[in-house]
């Protein structure tokens, strides 16, 4: 075994879109995430030594792996010819709607940045992580990678160039996240959206994004509840997740401010006022899904804001 120093980074799960903010809004989720360990090697380039937690499904070829591509992008951007070996542990299920590919990419760039003491600014790290995302889903969106890296609640105004707005979070805001044991591939979920949005739906969506941002700044929970409505993606994607409508209805009846798909699903989230309400809502969501389908699921409750990616070990 090599005696080279190793750096391990953790990158959290994320909820993206947040109902009305397709491809532009997202927030970090505590407790769940991926880990990447990076160490220097003599051979140039990026090599993936091992991947655990994926049941052998992810490619070890760095050029086809989101973590490998992100790490390579950072080395290239900084003109570094030295080699890196990375090991990835998947704490997030694949195609879960919780930003699994973004977590791998972000953990990789954070680990490599620390390994070489690059002190790269967050925007540069995000740009490289988004290149890894492109491999996973075919689109360079940052609504998972940005909150995964920065933590908290963010709005991605632009990816070319990177322009991320960090949003405030009311002190009592909490989130219930339901994860069905089901996979929805991001590429497939994006394909059902098509490439056109009716003007009326677009206007509704713009209004809700503005209202949600205002609600975050003013702690206006009633306004937040009215704004958590997706007129663009959810109507087309809901059919991909059995039991979705029953879960959403149960969450609202249990007191949630709003409930929608997390990213492309199948995970679902519900924003709530207070952890106690979030726990009650989580229970209602689990019961509703089990009553509507035969599939298994799990749920967590997280306070907001949650921290972003960080170094967790250095040896």
Q: Which residues are catalytic?
A: 133, 186
Beta pairing partners, 50: 87
Q: d(Cα 146, Cα 162) in Å, to the nearest integer?
A: 10
Interior angle at CA 220, CA 218 and CA 221, nearest 5: 145
Q: d(Cα 30, Cα 90) in Å, to the nearest integer?
A: 15
Q: Is the dihedral of CA 165, 209, 300, 145 positive or negative?
A: negative
Consecutive H or E run containing 175: strand 173-180
Cβ–Cβ < 8 Å for 142, 164: yes
Could you please report the per-residue DSSP string of 153-164?
Answer: EEEEEEETTEEE
Consecutive H or E run containing 235: helix 234-237
Q: What is the number of alpha carbons within 13 Å of residue 52 lying toward its C-beta?
A: 6
Give the tokens for residue 85.
Answer: 């070996």
Could you please report the per-residue DSSP string of 138-153?
Answer: SS---TTHHHHHH-SE
Q: What is the number of alpha carbons within 13 Å of residue 89 lying toward its C-beta?
A: 11
């Amino acid at each position: 075994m090599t005696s080279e120093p190793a750096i391990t980074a953790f990158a959290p799960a994320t909820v993206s879109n947040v109902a009305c903010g397709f491809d532009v809004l997202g927030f970090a989720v505590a407790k769940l995430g991926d880990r990447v360990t990076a160490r220097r090697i003599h051979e140039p380039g990026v090599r993936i030594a091992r991947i655990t937690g994926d049941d052998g499904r992810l490619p070890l070829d760095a050029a086809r792996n989101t973590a490998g591509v992100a790490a390579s992008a950072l080395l290239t951007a900084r003109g570094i010819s030295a080699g890196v070996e990375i090991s990835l542990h998947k704490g997030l299920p694949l195609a879960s709607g919780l930003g699994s590919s973004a977590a791998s990419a972000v953990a990789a760039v954070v680990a490599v940045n620390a390994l070489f003491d690059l002190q790269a600014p967050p925007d540069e790290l995000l740009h490289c992580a988004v290149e890894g995302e492109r491999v996973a889903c075919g689109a360079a969106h940052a609504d998972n990678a940005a909150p995964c890296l920065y933590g908290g609640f963010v709005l991605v105004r632009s990816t070319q160039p990177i322009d991320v707005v960090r949003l405030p979070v009311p002190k009592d805001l909490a989130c219930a996240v339901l994860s069905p044991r089901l996979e929805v591939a991001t590429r497939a979920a994006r394909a059902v959206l098509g490439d056109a949005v009716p003007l009326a739906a677009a206007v509704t969506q713009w209004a809700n994004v503005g209202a949600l941002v205002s609600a975050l700044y003013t702690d206006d929970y009633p306004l937040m509840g009215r704004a958590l409505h997706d007129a663009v993606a959810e109507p087309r994607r809901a059919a991909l997740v059995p039991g979705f409508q029953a879960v959403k209805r149960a969450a609202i009846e249990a007191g949630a401010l709003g409930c929608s798909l997390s990213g492309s699903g199948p995970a679902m989230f519900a924003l709530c006022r207070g952890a106690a309400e979030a726990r009650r809502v989580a229970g209602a969501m689990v019961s509703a899904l089990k009553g509507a389908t035969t599939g298994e699921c799990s749920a967590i409750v997280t306070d907001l804001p949650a921290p972003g990616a960080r170094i967790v070990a250095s040896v």
